Amino acid sequence: MTEAPRRRKDAAATKDALLQAASELFSERGFSATTVRDVATRAGVNQALLFRYFGSKSELFASVLAHNSARMVTEVPAEELPRRLLSDLLSAEERNGEHPIVAMLRSWSDERAADLLRDELGARYTARLAELSEAEDAELRADLVLAWMFGIGMVRSVLGKSPLAEADPEQITRYVNRATAALLAGTDLSDDQ
Amino acid sequence: MTEAPRRRKDAAATKDALLQAASELFSERGFSATTVRDVATRAGVNQALLFRYFGSKSELFASVLAHNSARMVTEVPAEELPRRLLSDLLSAEERNGEHPIVAMLRSWSDERAADLLRDELGARYTARLAELSEAEDAELRADLVLAWMFGIGMVRSVLGKSPLAEADPEQITRYVNRATAALLAGTDLSDDQ
DNA sequence: TGACCATGTAAGCAACTGCTTACATGAGGA
DNA sequence: TCCTCATGTAAGCAGTTGCTTACATGGTCA
């Protein structure tokens, strides 16, 4: 929001400012509701520079996604990931909703954004979550966990639906952790009901 | 897609055609990516009629939502609802993705659509699901179930992410039903870990 | 110092959007 | 039969969008 007074001509600082502004706005409004004019204005920069440095709105979105989620996935150990994902989602509103996951949640509807999301999720999150299970279908179980996280983020942070939106994060965490632990460690259910 | 040849002047038939076309398009593309021109064209009708009969794009969306999900929620008994929701979501692609739930999934990002969704979900789905639990926080648990359904639909049908997108519906259903049954029937976890 | 070129800017284009308006037409009652 | 008004249409308005272009500016290095 508050833009530091940058040096008058500094490409790197300008790029950073654009990236930061884009990260905030994509989280707040999603991909399609964020305009390049909004991003440039918040960055305190002429919008033509956005195209000079990033080429297009889609490429800007990809840059934001890569930049933000790379940081998270590499710095959090696999066994911490579900808990961390959830706690990030549950506390998103305290940070004005600015978070790569929330940016994702608000951006499915655009097809270009969805393509980027699919790759980003597969490469980073599912792969990491699947490490937690030794089952044959570990990746499917990981996807189910991921889907639940996203659904919760969606209903709580994007929709703001009660009572989930107002519920105690601790309580939600207890319910979800119990279920996901069972799912990831659970026995194979292929043949029983 | 295929528009029946309607009588030349028939307001009711025209309204129905618009509603049907809108239902399909909102499911395929979501609220904001669907244009009133698209809807009118698919219905084989002049777009000015859309405004005559529905007032605005948002009101058209609300009509579609109400029309479709009212049917589903009333015709399915509560104890069947989770299973039915899930099986509908999992088979969505076989019906060209046309389903009120899928329309919802693709439409969060727009704020006007999200407002309608929140009300629709609260009034119909959560209320119904909460009947299944006798716990004090039945509605929270219902929201968590709902969130999972939506997350799964999102990752599978909207994103199309592997392996969840290709997974056997039966298998998914087994995993999810086990977990949701435990969640809804489960003991109160307020004070333990 | 002076000139080059990375950096920044103003203006606008072309396409698209939701929605409105002014007008045509034809079914049904008198 | 003919007139009326519900029903349908063509055209366009005003605003927004992503992106481009032609030009200004000033930091840097010889």
Q: Is B181 helix (H, G, I), strand (E, B) or coil?
A: helix
Nucleotides in D strand less than 7 A from protein CB: 6-11, 16-22, 26-27
Record: contact B149-A151, CB cut-off 8 A: yes
Asked if pLDDT for residue B62 goes beyond 90, the answer is yes
Within a domain: residue B137? yes
Within a domain: residue B2? no
Interface test with chain B among A61, A90, A108, by most B beta carbons within 10 Å: A108
Within a domain: residue B193? no
- Tell me, in Å, how far CA of B37 is from C1' of C17? 9
pLDDT at A182: 78
CATH of the domain at B153: 1.10.357.10
Q: Of all helices (H) and strands (E), which one includes residue A174?
A: helix A169-185
Strand C at less than 7 A from CB of A45:
yes
User: In whole numbers, what is the pLDDT of chain B averaged over residues?
Assistant: 84
Q: A29 is in which domain, residue-wise?
A: 11-184
Tally the domains of chain B: 1
Asked if pLDDT for residue B117 goes beyond 60, the answer is yes
pLDDT digits (tens, 9 = 90+) for B92-108: 766 665 677 778 888 88
Asked whether the CA dihedral B44, B46, B52, B55 is positive or negative, the reply is positive
Record: contact B108-A110, CB cut-off 8 A: no
Record: contact A137-B171, CB cut-off 8 A: yes
Within a domain: residue A180? yes
Strand D at less than 7 A from CB of B6:
yes
Within a domain: residue B146? yes
- Tell me, in Å, how far CA of B24 is from C1' of D6? 28
Within a domain: residue A35? yes
Mean pLDDT by 10 residues, chain A (193 residues): 56 94 92 95 96 97 86 78 81 67 80 83 82 87 90 88 90 87 68 41
Within a domain: residue A43? yes
Interface test with chain B among A144, A149, A170, by most B beta carbons within 10 Å: A144
pLDDT at B7: 56
Within a domain: residue B5? no
pLDDT digits (tens, 9 = 90+) for B158-188: 888 889 999 999 899 889 988 888 787 766 5
pLDDT at A13: 94
| Residue of B31 and A95 predicted with greater confidence | B31
pLDDT at A97: 58
pLDDT at A6: 55
